[in-house]
Amino acid sequence: MAIKKAGFSTRSIHSGEKQDETGSITTPIYQTAPFEFKNASHGADLMGGRGKGYVYSRGANPTTEVLEEKIADLEDAQAALAQTTGMAAISAAVFTSIKGGDHVIADEVIYGSTYDLFVELKNFGVDVTFVDSSDANNVESAFRPNTKLVFFETPANPTLKLTDIKAVCDIAHEKDATVMVDNTFMTPYFQKPIKLGADVVVHSATKYLNGHGDTLGGMIVGSSDYIKSARHTAKNMGGSITPFSSWLIIRGMKTLSIRMDRHTENAMSVAKFLQGHDKINTVIYPGLHDHPQYELGREQMSGAGGMIAFMLEDPKDVPVFLDSLKLCTLAVSLGETCTLIQHPATMTHGVVPRDDRLSYGITDELVRLSVGLEDACDIIDDIEQALGLI
């Protein structure tokens, strides 16, 4: 359904959806591995890349295509490719963008497995320089003649620092490098990196896009040419999403706008409460005026989202605090209906070497909170009682 000019919520519900002959108002789950060829020459044509049709769900599937059209439309992009996890999407996008001998610039504060993937690229003859991309000059200084890719998250997981998407894109494009932005924390509801100049957007759809913590998923979003090439690479890597997971994420995305608004409203209440608590040292939330990049956030994001980072006075209190919570769930992941809390230093970012981690601001006293959709007063009551026990 082509509704490019409709509002975000309308598009999140209707984009990509097609009605079949049954009149089903939801997308059917085409739970099949191969698709039958009409005859031998039809099979030979499709396998040879001639004509349109489905062959095998590792390459394309009608349920997944609805999801891909929906996210491409919402990100104001030409095309998208869904993968089975965020890491499958990031790996496939990285391998689409670089080859042995290339150089990559990545922000130093990124999700732990993404960081680890970049470290592993050394085994494939790819050098990666980690920089603090919140200052675009650092990106410029790190450029080498063979730099082909610049990668960052904004806001970054877990410290919630921001990178100026447009400034970094201007620098990178001057030097013909691809800019890839992980937009997991904001979703296209609050931030559209492609409109600001990014070439490729990746998502862990496991998080806000699906929104219910019941499936994994990943997205690569970009130009038609880029996605064609990513589809080729990804098909060989084999990280295709299952039709059922695609269906769950399609359903989740239909409520993305109202969920993101509520996550943000709740996060603002929780952040203000934390700011006023004497056992909390620092609260980092892009919606607070004292976030060092508050103005940049207002320019490139239309909402502050549901993620908060905060520091207790003493790192030794962290386990006691986490173990005392009753409503907030101690688990990694984020962007779900329920509030999730975790300790990056020992959990999501445990793979980052300690000295590097500390220099990036991922300290032992830092706690990451994914504020859920419960009543804000209940989340606050729970945090307050747990803080009372340390």
Ligand X SMILES: Cc1ncc(COP(=O)(O)O)c(C=O)c1O
Sheet containing 329-330: give its strands across: 280-284, 307-312, 366-370, 340-342, 329-330
* Catalytic-role residue among 207, 259, 357, 368: 207
- Please enumerate in sequence order all residues whose Cβ is within 8 A of that of 41, keeping only pairs 6 or more positions apart, or say none: none
216 lies in the binding site for ligand X (CB under 6 A): yes
Q: Considering only CA atoms, give the Rg of the chain.
A: 21
Q: Which residues of 151-184 are buried (b: 16+ CB within 10 A; e: fewer)?
A: bbbbbbbbbbbbbbbbbbbebbeeeebbbbbbbb
Asked if 1 and 15 touch (Cβ cutoff 8 Å), the reply is yes
57 lies in the binding site for ligand X (CB under 6 A): no
372 lies in the binding site for ligand X (CB under 6 A): no
157 lies in the binding site for ligand X (CB under 6 A): yes
97 lies in the binding site for ligand X (CB under 6 A): no
Q: Least CB distance from residue 83 to ligand X, whole Å?
A: 9
Asked if 111 and 104 touch (Cβ cutoff 8 Å), the reply is no
* Catalytic-role residue among 73, 102, 107, 182: 182
Q: Report how far Cα 61 is from the mean position of its chain's Cα atoms.
A: 22
Pick from 46, 79, 81, 87 the residue near ligand X by CB under 6 A.
87
Please, which residue, 46 or 183, has the CB nearer to ligand X?
183
* Catalytic-role residue among 58, 195, 235, 254: 58
The verdict on whether 56 is a catalytic residue reads: no
Question: Which range binds ligand X by CB under 6 A, 110-118, 142-150, 220-228, 241-249?
Answer: 110-118
Q: Least CB distance from residue 348 to ligand X, whole Å?
A: 6
CA pair distance 251, 53, nearest whole angstrom: 25
CA pair distance 200, 266, nearest whole angstrom: 30
Q: Least CB distance from residue 334 to ligand X, whole Å?
A: 6
Q: Least CB distance from residue 262 to ligand X, whole Å?
A: 20
Query: Which stretches of the chain bind ligand X, using CB under 6 A?
Result: 85-87, 111, 113-114, 153, 157, 182, 184, 204, 206, 216, 218, 333
* Residues catalogued as catalytic: 58, 111, 182, 207
